[in-house]
Each structure stands twice: as C-alpha cells, then as structure tokens.
Amino acid sequence: MSAICVLFGVLCSGTIHGQERTVLTLEKNWKFHKGDVENATSTSFDDSKWETVTVPHDWAIKGPFDKEIDKQTVAIVQNGEEVATEKTGRTGALPYIGIGWYRNQFAIPNFDSEKKVILLFEGAMSEPEIFLNGQKIGSWNYGYSYFYFDITEHIRANQKNILAVKLTNRELSSRWYPGAGLYRNVRVITKNKESIDQWGTFITTPFITSDLAKVNIKTKVSGENLKMVTTIKDADGNTVAVDSTQAIFGDAFEQNIAVNNPRLWSPETPYLYSATSQLYVEDILKDEISTRFGIRKIKYEAEKGFSLNDSVIKFKGVCLHHDLGPIGTAVNTSALRRQLQILKDMGANAIRSAHNMPSLEQLELCDEMGFMFLAESFDEWAKPKVDNGYHRYFESDAEKDIVNLVQATRNHPSIVMWSSGNEVPDQWGSDGAKRAKWLQDIFHREDPTRPVTVGMDQVQATMASGFGAVLDIPGLNYRVNLYEDAYKAFPQGMILGSETASTVSSRGIYKFPVVEAKMKMYDDLQSSSYDLEACSWSNIPDEDFVLQDDKPWVIGEFVWTGFDYLGEPTPYDTKWPSRSSYFGINDLAGLPKDRFYLYRSRWNTKEETLHMLPHWNWEGREGEITPVFVYTNYDSAELFVNGKSMGIQRKSMNSPTARYRLMWMDVKYEPGTIKVVAFDAEGNPVAEKETHTAGTPYKLVLEADRTQLSADGKDLAFVTVSVVDKNGVPCPSATNQLKFKVKGAGSYKAAANGDATSLEMFHLPTMKLFSGKLVVLVQPDESPGNITLEVSGKGLKTAKINLTSYNKL
C-alpha cells in the first residue's frame, strides 16, 4: 500500500481504517487547466503542460480581482429592490466563472473480482462531470453536495487509472463567492464485495439515563451470510461494549448496545465515543470501519424551547459561508479550527452552514470542540433568486442532494437541526408549502431524530399561506417586529432566529456623528464600528438580544455572520472596489471587530469582557464630540479622559442599546488616555482598561496563534502583525505597506487585512496594514524544522517570529 500512497496519493488517516478497506485520498499531482479542452478525458491525453496542483484547490482565489467578473445587473428582490442596478463584487470579483479540468492517476493494488471501488467527492464546484479511463462515470449538478460512484467496473487492474473531472461555473449562479474547482477532498475507497455500504452506518442514542444509554446502530451492508461485530470505545480507546449479531433485516443490521454510565456530549463537554463495525463472513473479517459519535439528547418543546441533555439552552450561533477568506474555499482544517477557537472564546455555541452543505472537516471539529450545528441544504428551491441558481435542478436533484447530506453527516452529534432552505422565493404561493413539506419529509425519512427549519424572511406570506405552519421549527430571518405575531400565528410554540443582525462594520473604522442608520454609505466605502449600522431589512445586535432575553419561546439566534466572507459587499454592492462582506463579527482576516466583544459580553458568561471603543487617535477632531462605548459583562463603569471623570454609566432598560452597552455620548476628543473602570454589583471597582493616543508607527509586532505546527504541508500558523509606536502603543490607523519572507521548513501562504475594498492579492507576499493590523498565513512543508517569518516595512523596525514544525504533534 505504501508505495501506492507515495506514488499516487495519501492514505487517509481519518475515521476509517482496517486492512480490509483502503482509503486513498487523491491530494497530490493533480493536473489542472482553466478553460475547455478537447479530448481531456482520453487516457492518452498529454497533460504535462498543465499546472500541477494539490487538492483541495480553489482555482480562482489567486485572482486578480476584476469588477467585470460576474457583474450582475439585477434588482435583488429579497432585499426589497425594485430597480436593477449594476452589482460589482457580488460574487467576489474573482475569476471563478468558466470551465476547469482536473486530471489525476491512481492504481488499485491487487485489484480482483472480489473488490469493490468507490470514488467519493466531498464537494466539487460545480456541475462536476467525472470520467475514468476515458469513460464517463457520471455527473452531479450541485457544487456543495457530497457524492460518490461505484467505479468497480471501470477499474483497470494493476495499472494506472486516469481520472478526469470537468467543472463548469456559470455567471449569475450565486449570491456570494462560491469558489471554483475540487475544493474538498476526493477519495478512492477499495473494499470487499461483502462490505459496509457507503454512509451505511446510522448511530442514534434513543435512550439515555445517568446510568445507561442505549446506542442504536443500523448498518447497511452488501453480501450473504454476514455477521456484524460492533465494539464501542470511549474517548480514551477503552472498550465499553461489544455486540455481535447475525440478524439482518433486509440489507441492514440493527443493534442496540448498552453503554453504562454514559458521558454525554455537549458544547461544554464534547465527549466522543467510537463504534468499530466489523463485518464477517463465517470467521473471515471482510470489512471494518470506525465511526465517532456522541451520546446526547435533544428535545424541542412548545413554550419551553430547546433542551440538550434535559437542560434548556439557547442557540448562541453564527452563520458562516464556506470560504476561508485569503485561502478561499479550499477546505483547510487549521483555518476552520482557528475560526472555531475564535468563536468559542466569544461564547458562541452553534454554527449554521449558510446556505449549503458544510465540509465534513468542519463537522468533525464541531463534534470535537463542542459546537451545535444547523446544517442547511439550499438557498433556492424551484423559484429563482439568480438566473443560473439551484432552481434549475431543484425538481430533479433536491431529493438526492438531501439524502446525501443526511447520510454523510447524520452521525455527527454536533448536528441538532436541519434546514431545507434559506429565504426561498417559494415562500410565496401555494406550491411553496407543499415543497417545504416534501423536503421536510425526506429529511425525516433519512433521519427521524432531528427537526427541520427554513430561514424565512417573507414572514407575513408564510403566516398566510401555511408555509410556516408546516415546518418543525419556524425560523425567522430578521423581522424582529414580527416575532410576536409569528409566535402567535404558528402552531409550534417557538421561534428560531435562523438569521439575525446583519449589522455592518469595518474593523477599526469609526464614523461621526454616531447615530443609528440603515444602508449608510461613506465615501471610503467603509462602515462604522460603533455598531449602529444595519441593512434596510436588518437590525443591530441589541434588538435580537432583547428577544432572546425576554421571550422564553425564542430558542436562539444565528448571527449573520461570524466572519466576513468574499462577495456580497452590502451596503456597497454597487460600489467598486468593494468585494467582500461587512457583516462579519470578525473580519476577513479573522481579526475581531468591536462587535466581537458585544457578543462576548453576553455569550461568554465565564470570562470577563471589558472592551472600549473607538481608538483614541483623532488628530483634527480636538474638542469634537467623540462618543465612547464600552462592551462589558459588568453593569456599570466610569470613564476618564486624561484623568477627568466623564461620569458613571449603568446599563438600563431605556433602550436596546442602553441595555447592552455603556455609552458616553458627549465625550470631547483630546489626545491622551481614556480609561474605563468597571464596577461589580456592589459598586466596587473590579477591572479597568486604557486606550492611549499613539505616536508615529515605529516597529512591527508579530503574534502567532500557534508556534508548533504539523509538518504535513497543510497546517497553518496565523500570525497577526501590528504596528506600534516607540512606547509600544498600537497605531490604530496605520496603513503601511509590508513585505513578508518565510525561511526554513515552510512557506508564505497568504495574507489578509480585512479591508473589504482592497484589491491586493492574498497570495502575494506584500500587503498594506488596515487599521494597523493584518494577518499572515504560514504553511509548514512536509519535513519538520524551524520556520521564520520576517515582516518588513519602510521606516519600520523589521520583525521576525520563529515557528517549528514536527512530524507528529
């Protein structure tokens, strides 16, 4: 096997093992060509001149940005627009449109008539057409789906098999940057004819007490005279139960296995068990797979809401698109893990995959790190939002896309709810409710344990048509003023904030005067970080907090969005060069905006939050009103400007903002120091923070999220670069052009500064600071060693940081 791994791919080290099956992940030595090519499917085709790439791969992320790419002249009806306008940057202005070809080779050692081979794609953007050894194997339309083909008949024994994949991305097919190419893993699974079916295992935990859990395992298999032996192991690998059965029902075994004193899965205690399923014929082991699962109980009850393991909790969630900022859509576990670490620190407990299937890597991390998950399937049903959207396939493909979503992911304890759609225009008209029911029934058939929601924005229409009443869980996108009406009109006795806020801001940018505003635009194409600006259809976070806190029947919220993403630069979607969103709680580089601390002050109940804004470098604003906001979990605080008290502010019920923020609205700017002192409930000073006016940029400071990395060619260190003055005070408006150099056992991967208007390319080793900061991504090679990142800028002291990569961390 190892020779094959080295030559043609990498053996998967994930959840699947055993000699009876091999999983070859096709990562390296892919050949890629942008544009259509004749005969690219042929086994004799010469692809030596094509670019060599590693998969997962996003062919468009290296740009360049171009305002003409997928320029959409449309009226976005769901945003209330009536007149078409020219939208540049709606899908990120990156070159994802067009055809792309990938080719690779692999061999199946010792292939014989007893073997079965499966070719699995965990996502391919988009409309993949698959060819093996010159023959068309099949195709799939939806770029977000996981899908597979049985390629046994097409395999050439003991010689190379030539795989060719054609992908087609059309204009007007998306509302955000979808990426392009084989952006998720491709695997070749070889097993015996007698084996466990692909995604054939379904583990549920229907009975749980503190002494005992019953684990129900259904396993679909192929073959005759079979025996299934299942071993359940705890997180330390100790066997806790073994069960053997020959009783097969149709094509599936069903086992109920007792686990004593079960340790329950929750966001605070993400405890995972594993089930090893061994399939025998007589006493010969034919197949073996291992599946991780959690033991946990979920319940949704009218008036009471959602409970996990019998405790009522609310979703403190964020919506996420799938791109990872500067590295685009090519799935990367380190980048996903970093996102989740940031969200964990904020106190978030849930993620919604907007508006499509999540990566399997993200689900695994959510299982491990403790996040609940709302897994979504579609942004369109039969009625279009964009001309070439999913509606083209809805009738023919919706069922199989949902089946694959559920079957591939249903063993993840993190998933606690499905969503069949987001703001589908089918909310209007009588057919919509029927479609909602049809889709929901498919989810129920495939997984009877989790409810289904739809993110609804046309709330009045769904109240009138019965659409909302059909759903297991009515999800409202925005429309805070309609929660009460919807709760009364719908029969479920609960409302989910399936999408909330859509507040817009640019990290470190503050605008005056400080007032609440909708669709506010400024000449620099940035939005204010006083966190008072939202869209015409949306609202500031505080208005959601009121509903979450005051209404027991509101079961939580999913904020739009946890991180900025490429495309959808509202409110600047007609203003070039805006090319990425302003909605993120964190920017495109993953750096927290002020809003991060507003959510943290409410969501992270274990740690102190005391955060002051704006920065205090306002040359030219001397004597002018420059309000100061504090986001904190304390109820009151006193503000000082250069030692002078500006008075004590206390949270109050006077308005949503007064309830969740401390605001000193009349402060006049003078350079120096602002200081906030927070008080506990008894009025004792317990914490303080200061912000100083910075001098001129002097030196660079580097801080890595991790300095110890895996020498696997995939891991990433995220190094935050800031510029400080002579006294070490951060310079909040610095925009210095920086250069990056990586030496040793790694390379420069990308950089991002969070500026939604920047046209600098992420993969080039130079970028400007934005609001005094940016982030550099460094990737280790496959051999371990020391890595040094050096960052320099004109007139600034150069900075270095050392990282180390290891064979096994």
* Contacts (CB under 6 A) with ligand GAL, residues 73-112: 78
Residues 413-432 contacting ligand GAL, CB under 6 A: 422-423
Closer residue to ligand GAL, CB minimum distance, 217 or 319: 319
Binding mask 341-370 for ligand GAL (x = CB under 6 A): -------------x----------------
Q: If you count them, how many residues does the chain have?
A: 809
Choosing from 50, 280, 560, 597, the residue that interacts with ligand GAL (CB under 6 A) is: 560
Looking at the Cβ atoms of 320 and 637, the one nearer to ligand GAL is 320
Q: How many residues bind ligand GAL (CB under 6 A)?
A: 13
| 499 catalytic residue (yes or no) | yes
Shortest spacing between CB 383 and ligand GAL, in angstroms: 15
Q: Which is nearer to ligand GAL, 149 or 560 (CB)?
A: 560
CB-CB neighbours of 668 under 10 Å: 12
Beta carbon nearer to ligand GAL, 407 or 570: 570
| 628 contacts ligand GAL (rule: CB under 6 A) | no
Q: CB within 8 A of 604, min separation 6: which ones?
A: 345, 346, 347, 633
Write down the H helix ranges in 290-332.
Answer: none
CB-nearest residue to ligand GAL: 502
553 and 64 Cβ atoms separated by less than 8 Å: no
Measure the CA–CA gap between 63 and 187, rounded to whole angstroms.
Answer: 28
| Least distance from ligand GAL to the Cβ atom of residue 321, Å | 8
Query: Which residues within the stretch 665-694 sit at the binding site for ligand GAL (CB under 6 A)?
Result: none
Q: State which residue, 407 or 502, has the beta carbon closest to ligand GAL.
A: 502
Reduce the DSSP state of residue 70 to 3 states and report it: coil
Closer CB to ligand GAL, 452 or 799, in the complex: 452
Position among 380, 499, 587, 725 found at the interface with ligand GAL (CB under 6 A):
499
Residue 398 CB, shortest distance to ligand GAL, in Å, is: 19
Which of 538, 753, 757, 758 contacts ligand GAL by CB under 6 A? 538
In the set 122, 376, 380, 423, the catalytic residue is 423
Q: Does 453 bind ligand GAL (CB under 6 A)?
A: no
Which residue in 502, 505, 527, 528 binds ligand GAL (CB under 6 A)? 502
For 524, the token pair is 């620099």
Q: Which C-beta is closer to ligand GAL: that of 362 or that of 538?
A: 538
Pick the binder of ligand GAL from 91, 477, 526, 548 (CB under 6 A): 477
Among residues 127, 288, 499, 557, the one annotated as catalytic is 499
Q: How far apart are CA 545 and CA 533, in angstroms?
A: 16
Q: Which runs of E-coded beta strand occur in 98-194?
A: 98-106, 115-121, 129-132, 135-139, 147-150, 161-169, 186-192
Residue pair 94/577 in contact by the 8 Å Cβ criterion: no
What residue has token string 């229409």? 461
Asked whether the beta carbons of 736 and 723 are under 8 A apart, the reply is yes
Which runs of E-coded beta strand occur in 401-488? 415-422, 452-456, 473-477
Strands 98-106 and 129-132: unpaired
End-to-end CA distance of the chain: 24
Report the alpha-carbon distance of residue 384 to residue 72 in Å, rounded: 14
304 by Cβ neighbours in 10 Å (0-12 / 13-18 / 19+) ranks as middle
Q: Should residue 332 be labelled a site residue for ligand GAL when binding is judged by CB under 6 A?
A: no
How many whole angstroms separate alpha carbon 588 and alpha carbon 177? 13
* Cα distance between residue 257 and residue 242, in whole Å: 8
Residue 535 CB, nearest distance to ligand GAL (Å)?
A: 5
Show contacts with ligand GAL in window 183-222 (CB under 6 A). none
Q: Report how far residue 349's alpha carbon sits from residue 315's, in angstroms, rounded to the nearest whole number.
A: 6
Q: Considering the rule CB under 6 A, would residue 535 count as an interface residue with ligand GAL?
A: yes
Strand partners, 273: 293
Kind and range of the H or E run holding 361:
helix 360-369
Query: Helix/strand/coil (H, E, C) string of 745-805?
Result: CEEEEEEECCCCCCCCCCCCCEEECECCEEEEEEEECCCCEEEEEEEEECCCECEEEEEEE
Counting contacts by CB under 6 A, is residue 457 touching ligand GAL? yes
The CB-of-355 to ligand GAL minimum distance in angstroms stands at 6
Q: Output the smallest distance, CB 76 to ligand GAL, in A.
A: 8
* Shortest distance (Å) from residue 354 CB to ligand GAL: 6
Q: Contact residues for ligand GAL (CB under 6 A)?
A: 78, 354, 422-423, 457, 477, 499, 502, 535, 538, 560, 568, 570
> Which active-site residues does the annotation give?
423, 499
